[in-house]
Amino acid sequence: MKLSLRNIALSGIAAGLVAANMVAASSIAHAENPMVGGAPMYAQKNIVENAVNSKDHTTLVAAVKAAGLVDTLSSKGPFTVFAPTNDAFAALPAGTVETLLKPENKDQLVKILTCHVVSADAMSGAIKKMVADDGGAHPVKTVGGCVFTAKTDGDKIMITDENGGTASVTIADVDQSNGVIHVIDKVLLPKS
């Protein structure tokens, strides 16, 4: 078989195009996670392994430890976690966090925290689609037995708790090995 310079050049161009397409496809499939609390979030790490590095989630991490939920949130999942920031916890009435972290209040703490967890891997696009498919409001059933309501305001996702308090998703789609984290600006509370 005789190869001409033209055939070799065309083969090289074709190989280059294939390689470029493979690089583009892999970068689309593995979009980089946003930074959270000044720390990189790694898709190959689980929810707990990433959360401990966020300076904006030290209260949440302390609460997860006090509630005994580290092993659960480190397990296979999948989980969608609506993760309140330190500022969200600080906005609760004075003394609330300290009271919840006491061993005698563990059941109440577990209830509040598990009401921030959904047993699914729900990226923001899926949530927005469910909201649209349900006419603007989608019920969100949590691991803790709460039923919250997801809505959208423009491109932003809003979650309303059972008491009418509403949290905004401030950082969406933080991919984890066992699910996804959406950072929120308010603590969601079960019906009082």
pLDDT digit string, tens, across residues 1-51: 444 444 444 344 444 433 444 433 333 344 588 889 888 898 999 999 999
Nearest alpha-carbon partner for 101 in 60, 47, 52: 60
The pLDDT value given to residue 19: 41
Both 145 and 101 in one domain: the answer is: yes
Phi, psi of 176 (to 5 degrees): -130, 165
Nearest alpha-carbon partner for 36 in 169, 188, 187: 169
Task: Count structural domains, the chain.
Answer: 2
Both 95 and 157 in one domain: the answer is: yes
Considering only residues 7 and 155, tell me which one the structure prediction assigns the higher pLDDT.
Answer: 155
Which residue segment(s) compose the domain that 17 sits in?
1-30
| pLDDT confidence band for 192 (50 / 70 / 90) | confident
Q: Is 181 a residue whose pLDDT tops 70?
A: yes
Both 165 and 77 in one domain: the answer is: yes
Query: In angstroms, rounded to a whole number, what is the distance separating the alpha carbons of residues 185 and 171?
Result: 10
Average pLDDT for residues 65-82, to the nearest whole number? 93
Both 123 and 64 in one domain: the answer is: yes
pLDDT digit string, tens, across residues 80-125: 999 999 999 999 999 999 999 999 999 999 999 999 999 999 999 9
The pLDDT value given to residue 2: 47
Query: In angstroms, rounded to a whole number, what is the distance separating the alpha carbons of residues 54 and 39?
Result: 6
The pLDDT value given to residue 71: 92
Q: Is residue 191 part of a domain?
A: no
Q: Is residue 192 part of a domain?
A: no
Average pLDDT for residues 177-188, to the nearest whole number? 95
Neighbours of 39 (CB within 10 A): 15
Average pLDDT for residues 137-155, to the nearest whole number? 96
In terms of phi and psi (left: phi > 0; alpha: psi -120 to 50; beta: otherwise), the region of 167 is: beta
